[in-house]
C-alpha cells in the first residue's frame, strides 16, 4: 500500500527531525518507508511491515505535523484511540484574510489562554496553523473540543465557551465516578 501526501515546505524539517529521528521513529512504529521531496513537499509512504494500517497511521501523524503539531504531540496518534480532526476556518470566515486572522485569534486567545483552556479542560491537543484548527484526542475529547472551537468561530463570547467547557468537564468527572462505583 502506498500513500502520498503533501506537507507545507516549512513543516518538512519537523517531519524529518534532527538527524532524521522523527522520520525514523514514524517508520519504525508503523512498518513503513517514507521518502520526502523537499522541493515539492510531497511525501510517499510505503508499507513494508505486516501492519496493513501502518501507512494510514503514518499518514495521520504526518498530517498532524503538517497542521502545526510538534512531533511529540503528533505521536499521540500512535495510540489506537486517538484521532486527528481538522477544522477549515475558511468554511466560516470565507476568503477574507482579515476575518481569518480574527477567527484564529479568537481560538488562540490572548497569550494562548483560550487554546490552553480548551486543552486543559478536554484533554485534546489543539493547533491553529494556516487556515485550520487541528485537534488530536479520543472521540469524547474531540467532540467537546470541536464544539468549543465551533462556538468561538461562530462568535460566542469567550465566557460562554469557558462555561460550556467547565460544564462538560464536570459531566465527564461525574460519569467517571459512576463507573468506579
Identify the CATH number of the domain in which residue 54 sits: 3.30.1370.10
Separation between Cα atoms, residue 69 and residue 36, nearest integer Å: 18
Q: Which domain holds residue 23?
A: 2-78
Contacts of 164 (CB under 8 A, 6+ apart): 147, 148, 151
Residue 73 and residue 8 share a domain: yes
Residue 170 and residue 93 share a domain: yes
Question: In the prediction, which pLDDT does 165 show?
Answer: 96
Question: In the prediction, which pLDDT does 91 show?
Answer: 87
Residue 153 and residue 118 share a domain: yes
Domain boundary among 47, 78, 109: 78
Domain boundary among 51, 78, 105: 78
- If one counts every other C-beta atom within 10 angstroms of the C-beta of residue 96, the result is 11
Q: Can you name the residues that pair with 3 across neighbouring β-strands?
A: 45
171: cell is 459531566
Question: In the prediction, which pLDDT does 39 show?
Answer: 86
Number of domains, the chain: 2
CA 128 to chain centre: 9
- Residue entry with cell 508499507: 47
Residue 171 and residue 121 share a domain: yes
61: cell is 501523524
Residue 156 and residue 73 share a domain: no
Residue 131 and residue 95 share a domain: yes
Question: In the prediction, which pLDDT does 5 show?
Answer: 93
Residue 66 and residue 22 share a domain: yes
Residue 64 and residue 10 share a domain: yes
Residue 19 and residue 106 share a domain: no
Residue 151 and residue 69 share a domain: no
Question: In the prediction, which pLDDT does 70 show?
Answer: 96
Question: In the prediction, which pLDDT does 163 show?
Answer: 97
CA-based nearest residue to 58, from 135, 1, 10: 1
Question: In the prediction, which pLDDT does 104 show?
Answer: 95
What is the reported pTM?
Answer: 0.91
Q: Is 44 helix (H, G, I), strand (E, B) or coil?
A: strand
Residue 102 and residue 88 share a domain: yes
Residues of the chain falling short of pLDDT 70 = none
Question: In the prediction, which pLDDT does 92 show?
Answer: 83
Query: Rounded to whole angstroms, what are the CA distances from 5 to 18, 56, 66, 140?
Result: 21, 11, 10, 28
Residue 136 and residue 95 share a domain: yes
Domain boundary among 61, 78, 95: 78
The angle, 0 to 180 degrees and rounded to 10, between the axes of the packed helices 158-179 and 113-122 is 20
Amino acid at each position: 500500500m502506498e500513500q502520498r501526501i503533501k506537507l507545507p515546505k516549512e513543516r518538512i524539517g519537523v517531519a524529518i527531525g534532527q538527524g532524521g529521528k522523527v522520520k525514523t521513529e514514524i517508520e519504525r512504529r508503523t512498518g513503513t518507508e517514507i521518502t520526502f521531496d523537499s522541493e515539492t513537499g510531497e511525501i510517499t509512504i510505503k508499507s513494508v511491515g505486516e501492519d496493513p494500517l501502518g501507512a494510514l497511521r503514518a499518514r495521520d501523524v504526518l498530517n498532524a505535523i503538517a497542521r502545526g503539531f510538534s512531533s511529540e504531540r503528533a505521536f499521540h496518534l500512535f495510540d489506537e484511540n486517538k484521532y486527528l480532526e481538522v477544522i477549515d476556518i475558511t468554511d466560516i470566515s470565507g476568503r477574507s484574510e482579515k476575518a481569518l486572522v480574527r477567527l484564529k485569534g479568537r481560538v488562540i486567545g490572548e497569550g494562548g489562554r483560550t487554546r490552553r483552556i480548551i486543552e486543559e479542560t478536554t484533554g485534546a491537543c489543539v493547533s491553529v496553523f494556516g487556515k485550520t484548527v487541528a485537534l488530536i484526542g479520543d472521540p469524547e475529547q474531540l467532540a467537546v473540543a470541536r464544539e468549543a472551537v465551533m462556538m468561538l468561530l461562530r462568535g460566542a463570547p469567550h465566557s460562554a465557551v469557558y462555561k460550556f467547557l467547565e460544564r462538560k468537564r464536570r459531566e465527564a468527572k461525574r460519569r467517571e465516578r459512576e463507573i468506579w462505583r
